[in-house]
Amino acid sequence: MSAVSYSQRGQSRRRSRHAFTYFWQGVVAILLIAVFLMPVYWMITTALKTTADTFAVPPVLIFQPTFEHFRAVYEEGSVAKSLVNSLIVAISATALSVLIGAPAAYVLARFNFRGKSDLWFWIISNRFISPIVVALPFFLIARDLRLLDTHLALILVYLTFGVPLVVWLCVDQFRAVPREVDEAATVDGATIWQVFFRINLPLAMPGIVVSAILAFIAAWNELMFALVLTRAEARTAPVEAANFMTGFGIRWGPMMATGTLIVLPVVIFALLVSRNLVRGLTMGAVK
Amino acid sequence: MSRQRVNWPAISLIAPAVIVLLVIGIYPLLFALDISFRQYQLTKQYLGTGYVGFQNYVAVFNDPLFWQSLLRTGQFFLLTVPLQVVFGVLIALFIDGVRWRPLSFLMRVLLVVPIAVTPTVVGLIGRLLFNRDFGFMNYLLSLFNIPPVSWLGEPLPAMLTIALVDIWQWTPFVALVMLSGLSMISQDVLESGQLDAGRGWNLFRHVQAPYLLPGLTAILILRTADILKLFDMVFVLTRGGPGVSTELVSVYIQRVGFRVFDMGVASAQAILLLILCIVLSRGYIRLFYREIEA
Looking at the structure, do residues A15 and A132 belong to the same domain, yes or no?
no
Residue A143 lies in a domain: yes
> What are the residues whose beta carbons fall under 8 Å from the beta carbon of A55, sequence distance 6 or more?
B133, B134
Backbone angles phi, psi at A273, to 5 degrees: -110, 30
Structurally, chain A folds into a number of domains equal to 2
> What are the residues whose beta carbons fall under 8 Å from the beta carbon of A66, sequence distance 6 or more?
A48, A49, A50
Residue A59 lies in a domain: no
Looking at the structure, do residues A94 and A175 belong to the same domain, yes or no?
yes
Helix, strand, or coil here: A204? coil
pLDDT reported for residue B294:
38
- Domain positions in chain B are 51-288
Residue A127 lies in a domain: yes
Looking at the structure, do residues A25 and A123 belong to the same domain, yes or no?
no
Looking at the structure, do residues A45 and A95 belong to the same domain, yes or no?
no
Residue bearing the bigger pLDDT, B226 or A13: B226
CA B111 – CA A277 distance, rounded (Å): 11
CA B50 – CA A158 distance, rounded (Å): 31
CA A168 – CA A139 distance, rounded (Å): 28
Looking at the structure, do residues A19 and A143 belong to the same domain, yes or no?
no
Q: What is the CATH number of the domain that holds A226?
A: 1.10.3720.10
Rounded (5°) CA angle B11-B16-B22: 110
Sequential DSSP letters for B183-205: TTS-HHHHHHHHHHH-SHHHHII
CA A107 – CA B271 distance, rounded (Å): 32
Does A32 contact B32 at a Cβ distance shorter than 8 Å?
A: no
pLDDT reported for residue A5:
44
A-B C-beta contacts closer than 8 Å: 301
Looking at the structure, do residues A27 and A141 belong to the same domain, yes or no?
no
pLDDT reported for residue A157:
94
Within chain A, strands assigned E span none
CA B256 – CA A132 distance, rounded (Å): 11
Residue A63 lies in a domain: no
Handedness of CA B200, B205, B208, B209 (dihedral sign): positive
Does B107 contact A29 at a Cβ distance shorter than 8 Å?
A: yes
Helix, strand, or coil here: B41? strand
Looking at the structure, do residues A135 and A175 belong to the same domain, yes or no?
yes
Residue bearing the bigger pLDDT, A130 or B232: B232
Q: Which of B37, B163, B81, B248 is nearest to A132 (CA)?
A: B248
Q: Which of A22, A164, A267 sits opposite B99 (nearest CB)?
A: A22
Which of B70, B99, B113, B167 best tests the A interface by mutation, with the highest count of A CBs <10 A? B113
| Range(s) of the domain holding residue A128 | 68-281
Is this prediction's ipTM beyond 0.95? no
pLDDT at B5 over 80: no
> What are the residues whose beta carbons fall under 8 Å from the beta carbon of A91, sequence distance 6 or more?
A216
Q: What is the pLDDT of residues B253-292, one digit of tens each?
A: 999 988 888 889 999 999 999 888 888 777 766 766 554 4
Query: CA B98 → CA A29, B32, B107, B198, B216, distances in Å?
Result: 9, 51, 10, 18, 22
pLDDT reported for residue A40:
96
Looking at the structure, do residues A223 and A142 belong to the same domain, yes or no?
yes
CA B204 – CA B187 distance, rounded (Å): 15
Q: Which residue from B minimizes the CA distance to A125?
A: B281
- End-to-end alpha carbon distance in chain A: 35
Looking at the structure, do residues A32 and A160 belong to the same domain, yes or no?
no
Measured between beta carbons, the chain A residues lying within 8 angstroms of B263 are: 136, 140
pLDDT reported for residue A1:
43
Question: Most confidently modeled of A33-47, A54-68, A242-256, B215-229?
Answer: A33-47
Looking at the structure, do residues A171 and A201 belong to the same domain, yes or no?
yes
pLDDT reported for residue A229:
94
CA A22 – CA B20 distance, rounded (Å): 54
Selected from 1.20.1250.20, 3.20.20.120, 1.10.357.10, 1.10.3720.10, the CATH number assigned to the domain covering B51-288 reads: 1.10.3720.10
Task: Provide mean pLDDT across the span B13-24.
Answer: 92
Measured between beta carbons, the chain B residues lying within 8 angstroms of A37 are: 110, 113-114
pLDDT at B79 over 90: yes
Residue A274 to chain B, least CA–CA distance (Å): 6
Helix, strand, or coil here: B111? coil
Residue B227 pLDDT class (50, 70, 90 cuts): very high
State whether residue A137 sits within 8 Å of chain B by CB: yes
